[in-house]
Structure 1
Amino acid sequence: MKKIVSLIVFTAALFWTWNIIHSSPAIGFETHSGIQEKLAELIKETVLAKKPNIQNFRISRLWTEAQSDTKVRAVFAYQFNEAVEGGEMTEQTVEGEAILFREPQEEGGQDRWTLQNVRTTNDIVTFSEGLVVTPGSDTPETIEAAPTGEAPAATPAATPVTK
């Protein structure tokens, strides 16, 4: 009797895993690719509209994952260089995520995705030349630029960016 029950359980498990492997995902590869392409364009246009003087804009990471049949989470990171006071260039890295929801299909049969929520989770500014700040005095004379080639710390300074 145990052998028959074991055989039935094994057969059911085998059938179930075969169905999982051979089923098609609710959100296809083409949909993910289209969402990523449109989101990359939107991010670039938005950043360039807010900061037209930036240089070397690039999206360093962008991927999507299905949360359900009607919800997709997109994770992104982009970088750009920007000049600050004194002509120094900074490299800024912004990471974030977006949530998209599928709208009901129209007559054309194409999926329509709506961007519901976008938030940045990590903003980092890296200065190309560090500054040496000496404690004990509030006068500007105690703040001097570090010589080229020498950094005050082993890694570049990271400062959060306010929006």
Structure 2
Amino acid sequence: MTDEAQPQSTRSLHRLIYFSRQRLADDPPPNEQVEAIVRASIRNNREVAVTGLLLVHDGWFIQALEGPMTAVLTTYRRIIEDPRHEAPVVINAAPAASREFADWNMCARSLSAADEAIIDALEMRDAFEPTRLNERSALRLLKAVRDIQDRTSLSAATR
């Protein structure tokens, strides 16, 4: 199938994965600041068909953004201008065949002590260090977090 024959939505779908250091003030509390980031992200992302997942752990943000290339790049530009993100680094930015995080305009998750097994399972047994992630390992980590989020949401919905 040529590019011309592919649907526009497939041709233009992009995924960008980055990490940055958190630069959150003590007041309001960091968890409230992350909640504010997520609320604004949901509102903004819904308007431009961007979905994704934000992982908050040990002073880091790791995030996947998916959607039309222009919208993803505009969203990332807003992130790098946000003073709550320090020294953002793109791990990967490329066309994507499908969305991995289609269910969320933005979902944020902090890893709890119970979730630490994810880090161990992904062979990151030393201190959590996103600078060692590559495209494959970062996506694997975020997908594992997505799966936990799905199970947690399903569990909460069935109670």
Q: TM-score range by the shorter chain?
A: under 0.3
Higher helix share: 2
- Scaled by the length of structure 1, what TM-score is found? 0.23
- Scaled by the length of structure 2, what TM-score is found? 0.23
Q: RCO greater where, 1 or 2, for CA within 8 Å and sep 6 or more?
A: 2
Higher strand share: 1
Q: Which has the larger radius of gyration?
A: 1
